[in-house]
Amino acid sequence: MAIQLKQLRVHGFRGLDNLEIDFEPTTVLVGTNNAGKTTLLKSLQLCLSNTLQITDDDFHFTDAIIRDKIVIDVLFISVNEEGNQIAEFEDKWATVFTVDRISIDSNGNQLLAFRTIIEENLIRKTYKKKQFVIDEWGEFHNEADGYWYSKTYNQELSFYFDEIPFFYLDANRDILDDLKNKTSFLGKILSSITYNPGDKELIENLIKDLNKETIERSEILTNLHTTLEELDTAMDNPNNTVDITPFTKKIRDLNKGVKINYSQFSMEYHGMGTRSWSSLLILKAFILQNMKLAIKNQVAYYPIIAIEEPESHLHPNAQKKLYSQINAIVGQKIVATHSSYIAGSAKLKEVRSVCRDTSIILIGKFFESDFEKEDIRKIYRQVINTRGELFFSKLVVLFEGETEEQALPITIKRYFDKSPIELGVDFIGVGGSGNYLPFIRFFEAFNIPYLIFSDNEPEANASVINQISKSKLNDINRVVFLSAGNDFEKELCDNGYIDEVKKAYHNLILSECVNEQHRAAKQAQLNQIPNNEYYGLVIGLKTQFAPNIGYELYKSEKPLPPKIVELFEKVNNVLNPAPNE
């Protein structure tokens, strides 16, 4: 690697009015539908290729704003094999970019930056694209100098490089379409097949013999051939002959009849998952072929590949393999996905969340420097490796204990009459009151809303408040504390839910009885336990007790405990914000 597309800025394009995002060698874009992921990829297509047609609908507009101009800035930097920025471009890239296009940043590093502007020609009702050299890559937003897109540049040049081809693979890819289209990546691969003269003659003679043997060994084809020879007489042209060629005669025509079979069956008989995946792998082969040619000829080559929903039509196990295959493609990859498996397979620093906050698009990014190594390990173990869907969560509720993990998903269904999945709410146990901070920072980095449902013993209270104060948002209103001095089990015992606690504990103990006689005797023993002893009993059985108490709270005719109601009211405010929020 010698260069890297480092940053993109977009103004006035579809739903993106003022956005900046930076990229890694492989970048995974996550977010809900209509957040702006596809538009972000299309903005790259607009400035790095000539393949996107502009219409009126591509200009940003809201009830208050109508843009008449699209502005897209991109920044390329020079990097070493480890992906770290270095001061100068390699000679082959310096030759491609030329001295008049290369700029120097404030740290003395060379960079290539250019702007693409699209404006409407009002007289012709067409759209004109211009590109300009950016001689200084400034701040994204500086109130003193104005927004980045308000600056103007005068050096107009074209920035389409054969050495930096841009490939866009949309979600509707299909290997069957590739086979029919001569301009597809597969068509280009097949049309580039060459042989030396000796091999060409040998292969065509083999094909000729194969055609002859095929006809002679088939009575039907032989009769058909004999009958068609009468064409010579009918056309009064005995010098011409009729050939039946089950196989193409000329090697140049081999690509016209190519079929791809998988598991002994033609692609026509396979579903969209196999065909979509095959199309992606064809692109991989095409780029690899071009890279080999570039290396052979000692020329610069750095493709940029935008892939939309690579998981389309694929089952989960296949999705788990996709990230490694995409990551191995030559060049820089930018992937928009809804797959928790792909997002979970990527490195945290490679993920960018794209989310809409009213009219603003926010880009979330994980900064490893904000975390201790042990915190990062916990996040991978407790979130990424097992809960990749959290990248797409509407809201995450954090808590400390096992009982909450079982009880809250059950009781939230009672409150909203919808399951957590329907609501888009996830529940995560952090394993203790001192473990919130890395998770808070993780969710804040990716702009994922979160709430905390915390125990309220003095030590836990102080610890949670301290961790909130160290977070970026520092918002104590995101926390619902239980009553002073209580954990979840004690909260239930002390606030009118002792009957539910007793039923849950009794059901747990009685489930181990071997027969009715044993059950009756055990029930008699349980009936003798004073109410004030139940808290001590259930504390030692949290794992088994948790689902039982959740079920008892769900079916109880009593209102839900006040602290749970307080939590769910906050959940409702996040999921259904007031219009002015």
User: Tens of pLDDT along 29-74?
Assistant: 998 888 889 999 999 999 999 888 888 888 888 767 778 899 999 9
| pLDDT for position 579 | 67
**Residues 83 and 179 grouped into a single domain:** no
Distance CA 420, CA 409 (A): 6
User: Tens of pLDDT along 325-383?
Assistant: 999 999 999 999 999 889 988 999 999 999 887 778 899 999 888 888 888 888 888 77
Q: Which residues of 14-51 are buried (b: 16+ CB within 10 A; e: fewer)?
A: bbbbbbebebbebbbbbbbeebbbbbbbbbbbbbbbee
Contact 56, 12 (CB under 8 A): no
| pLDDT for position 233 | 61
| pLDDT for position 418 | 94
User: Tens of pLDDT along 201-213?
Assistant: 888 888 888 888 8
**Six-digit token pair at 173?**
């890819």
Distance CA 501, CA 511 (A): 16
| pLDDT for position 192 | 78
pLDDT at 143 over 80: no
**Residues 13 and 44 grouped into a single domain:** yes
| pLDDT for position 1 | 60
**Residues 380 and 264 grouped into a single domain:** no
User: Which three-class secondary structure state does DSSP give residue 239?
Assistant: coil
| pLDDT for position 265 | 67
Residue 279 lies in a domain: no
**Residues 352 and 377 grouped into a single domain:** no
- Domain boundary, last residue among 356, 379, 396: 356
Distance CA 504, CA 552 (A): 6
Residues 6+ apart with CB under 8 A from 547: 406, 410
- Domain boundary, last residue among 291, 324, 356: 356
Residue 116 lies in a domain: yes
pLDDT band at 278 (very low <50, low <70, confident <90, very high): confident
pLDDT at 496 over 60: yes
**Residues 121 and 27 grouped into a single domain:** yes
**Residues 82 and 8 grouped into a single domain:** yes
pLDDT at 131 over 70: yes
User: Tens of pLDDT along 378-400?
Assistant: 888 877 777 778 888 899 999 99
**Residues 378 and 342 grouped into a single domain:** no
**Residues 130 and 183 grouped into a single domain:** no
**Residues 244 and 312 grouped into a single domain:** no
Residue 282 lies in a domain: no
**Residues 451 and 511 grouped into a single domain:** yes
C-beta pairs of 249-256 under 8 Å, 24+ apart in sequence: 249/204, 249/207, 249/208, 249/211, 250/204, 251/195, 251/200, 251/203, 251/204, 251/207, 254/190, 254/193, 255/187, 255/190, 255/191, 255/193
Q: Vertex 31, ends 9 and 420: CA angle to 5°?
A: 160
Residue 500 exposed, middle or buried by CB count within 10 Å (0-12, 13-18, 19+): buried
Query: Tokens 């797409």 belong to which residue?
Result: 392
**Residues 381 and 311 grouped into a single domain:** no
Domain count, the chain: 3
Contact 267, 274 (CB under 8 A): yes
User: Tens of pLDDT along 154-186?
Assistant: 898 888 888 999 999 988 888 877 777 777 777
pLDDT at 198 over 60: yes
- In 3D space, the residue among 302, 262, 284, 304 whose CA is nearest the CA of residue 173 turns out to be 284
**Six-digit token pair at 168?**
């866009």
Helices (DSSP H) in 192-241: which residue ranges? 197-216, 219-228, 230-234
Mean pLDDT of 119-127: 76
| pLDDT for position 172 | 84
Domain that residue 268 falls in: 175-274
